[in-house]
Homo-oligomer: A and B are copies of this chain.
Amino acid sequence: MPAADQPTTERGEQTRQRIVDAALELFEERGYAKTTMRAVADRAGVSLGNAYYYFGSKDHLVQGYYERMQAAHAEAARPALAGRTLLADRWVACEQAFLDVAERYHPFAGRFFAVAAEPSSPVNPFSDDSRPARDASIDIMRDVVTGARVKGDARLLTELPDLLWLAHMGLVLHWVHDGSPGQRRTRLLLRRTAPLLERLVGLSRLRPLRSSVHELLDLVADLRDGELDGSDDPDGAADAPGPAAAAPDERD
């Protein structure tokens, strides 16, 4: 298939950008389902076939969305964190920055999420292909933690950026399903969860909790070894089923 990743020439890169721009515009105007590949190609000034040269499928277009969102969040988070020293405050500021930059895309974020949720998808957040974006996102979380004055179990604090990234994924999951105006319910969830986070981290040093926390951290580490995702290969378990038969590759 075509160069879904890095177009080779200067001109190609421009064309690719034009297609992403057109797609995002149309997604915002009329939503994902109502945006046809033909319309995207038209607005980008290319032929239908040419659009498919750059993007293997309509779903691949959401990759552009993902990258921009990611960058916008990082940019918005930095100033929002400035001057805050409480872990809970920094966490809230970070996630509110996300909710703010993401709000305009909420109407069609569900589709993006569904595409990303598929294990075999290159944009699934746990995949190897997504490692750069994931690492960038975890960097934001590391910033949240290191800039805070917190006391807590040392090992927990080390792992906290990764855990906050998981929490971020959870918040996004709620956000995507949140039909309340301005995603007010997700903001509520965030504000009222944050103090609990702070308190739990504080309690992590105390006797009754510490051993449980360590068990949990051990488990996370064990699961991570042998890679986060484990899948990726279309069907790594192509062994189980019938005898002959083709090797039907669910791919799409």
Contact = CB atoms under 8 A, between A and B. Distances in A.
B33 A250 contact: yes
A240 B236 CA distance: 42
A193 B235 CA distance: 27
Contacts of A33: 250-252
A111 interface: yes
A209 B200 CA distance: 9
A136 interface: no
A86 to B, nearest CB: 17
Interface in A159-191: 176-181, 185, 188-189
A188 B108 contact: no
Contact of A120 (B110, B115, B120, B185): B110
A110 B236 contact: no
B199 A110 contact: no
Contact of A250 (B111, B115, B179, B251): B111
Contact of A230 (B32, B180, B236, B248): B180
Contacts of A106: 237
Given A31-B248, A107-B250, A250-B33, A215 B203 contact: no
A32 B250 contact: yes
A212 B189 contact: no
A95 to B, nearest CB: 15
Contacts of A232: 179
Give the interface size class of chain A: 35 or more
A252 B179 contact: no
Given A30-B248, A193-B219, A196-B212, A230 B185 contact: yes
A113 B115 CA distance: 10
A251 B107 CA distance: 11
A208 interface: yes
Given A107-B241, A177-B231, A178-B230, A189 B117 contact: no
A3 interface: no
Interface of A: 30-34, 106-108, 110-111, 113-115, 117-121, 124, 126, 176-181, 185, 188-189, 192-193, 195-196, 199-200, 203, 206, 208-209, 212, 215-216, 219, 222-223, 226, 229-233, 235-237, 240-241, 248, 250-252
